[in-house]
Amino acid sequence: MKRVYIHPFAGVLSAYGMGLADLRTLKEAAVETRLTDDLLPDLTAKLAALAAAGRAEMETQGIDADRIAILRKAHVKYEGTDSALVVPYGDHTAITAGFEAAHHQRYGFVVKEKPLIVEAVSVEVIGATDQVDDPAYPLGAGSSPQPLAVAQAFMEGVAHATPLYERDAMQPGQYVDGPAIIREATDPVMLEVFNNLFMAIAEQMGVALQNTAYSVNIKERLDFSCAIFDRDGALIANAPHMPVHLGSMGESVKTVIAARGADSTGKGRDGRGMKPGDVYVLNAPYAGGTHLPDVTVITPVFAEGDRVGRDVLFYVASRGHQADIGGLTPGSMPPDSRTVEEEGVLIDNFLLVDAGRFREAEMVALLSPISRRRSPPARRGCRSCIAWCGILAAMSSLPICGTSKTMPKRRCAGFSTS
């Protein structure tokens, strides 16, 4: 390899491409009828209905009607076979020709005397997104830029006089001979340091949860996840745990912030606000949860010495699968449930720890059988409230374990971690 090209935004090219990609939606309708001229009007009507539904769906995503394109397809196969080939929709002759060409390319032969079956018709609705104007800059003379300074850099145990360049000052076409140091606005060294720092916190949370867990689901199956979120609920770092948990946990954090965080006047939206030592618990699928046995515990972290909760620095959260949460069947995943309450106890933004005090009695009441609480009649109480509270107590203490070694001078769950 003689030359290496490094894009200045290599780390975000994937997200950049996704942002510019066209939106697509697929609609399909079954047919399972022999292809004849008499069938075409019915197929055309089905495609028109699918196209209208796809167009309406695309317009709800903010795509103008003149930027929507529709591709109509027919799924065709030989009578008596299972595998259909997708070909462009047209008249009888066009569909047949398209199918025979695709079949010959795929399998190497055609059977002209065999009837064709239209298995289904489909439309692909494509919405063109906004395009960014990427200007093409003229190339320079191919010269090397002037270095800002020359520093001593050690490589393979030997000191080298190494020129230092500013990336933003370099022009298209200029080149740099190594060894060299190229300085960027974002310091990649510090970025990596903090990335590993935050990752280590999430990993320590996971180890602490595994070691203190009552449940086999957490201790042995490792069905849990831990992560750190910024003050707005956006994911900062997570340990390599369960992707299905991590993808939606941020919505649970944002739910707590929206209901209990400070408003424009600095007061809590719930009239109380968040305080050092508070911990919240929820499992509501409508608030970023998955299924009810996956319970999320969320803790705001404040600066050391902040005893009134003036400003949240960040949030830590953990989500773990509980063996049972009071559904119709053991395991709380009944196959015949019709409402979410039949799957178990629905917990929606419950204050689990109040300024350092674990609200065990209140949590037991929430998990109690139906005879003790007002709830839909299908739900029972959680089978082991005491064990369940023990699990939640362990989960609520994770911020202490996770931040004590790596981030001193932070306060969480009512305890100083310095």
Kindly tell me the burial class for residue 99, based on how many C-beta atoms sit within 10 Å of its own C-beta (0-12, 13-18, 19 or more): buried
Q: Are 279 and 300 in contact (CB under 8 A)?
A: no
- Average pLDDT (147-158) is 89
Shortest CA distance to 237 belongs to which of 275, 282, 205? 205
- Average pLDDT (280-289) is 89
Q: What pLDDT does 345 receive?
A: 87
pLDDT-based confidence at residue 130 (cuts at 50, 70, 90) = confident
Q: Alpha-carbon dihedral of residues 43, 47, 49, 51, nearest 10 degrees?
A: 180
Q: How far apart are CA 299 and CA 253, in angstroms?
A: 9
Q: What pLDDT does 406 receive?
A: 40
Q: How far apart are CA 52 and CA 270, in angstroms?
A: 44
Model-wide pTM > 0.75: no
pLDDT tens digits for range 93-118: 999 999 999 999 998 899 999 999 99
Q: Please report the beta strands in 278-333, taking only residues with DSSP state E, as ranges in sequence order.
A: 279-282, 294-303, 312-321
- Average pLDDT (192-201) is 88
196 φ, ψ to 5°?
-70, -30
Q: How far apart are CA 218 and CA 284, in angstroms?
A: 20
Instruction: Find all residues with CB under 8 Å of 336, minimum gap 6, and list them.
Output: 328
At residue 159, the 3 state secondary structure works out as strand
Q: How far apart are CA 208 and CA 202, in angstroms?
A: 10
Q: Please report the beta strands in 114-244, taking only residues with DSSP state E, as ranges in sequence order.
A: 116-127, 149-155, 158-166, 181-183, 224-229, 235-238
The yes-or-no verdict on residue 303 having pLDDT over 80 is yes
The yes-or-no verdict on residue 407 having pLDDT over 60 is no
Q: Are 77 and 39 in contact (CB under 8 A)?
A: no
The yes-or-no verdict on residue 293 having pLDDT over 90 is no
The first and second tokens of residue 21, run together, are 């990609």
The yes-or-no verdict on residue 262 having pLDDT over 50 is yes
- Average pLDDT (243-263) is 86
As a whole number of Å, the CA-based R_g of the chain is 30
The yes-or-no verdict on residue 399 having pLDDT over 60 is no
Summary mean pLDDT of the chain? 82
DSSP per position, 8-51: TTGGGHHHHHHHHSPEEEEEEEEEEEE--GGGHHHHHHHHHHHH
- Average pLDDT (36-58) is 95
At residue 177, the 3 state secondary structure works out as coil
332 φ, ψ to 5°?
60, 40
Q: What pLDDT does 195 receive?
A: 86
The first and second tokens of residue 325, run together, are 């949460």
Residue-range domains of the chain with CATH? 22-127 (3.30.1490), 149-185 (no CATH), 190-416 (no CATH)
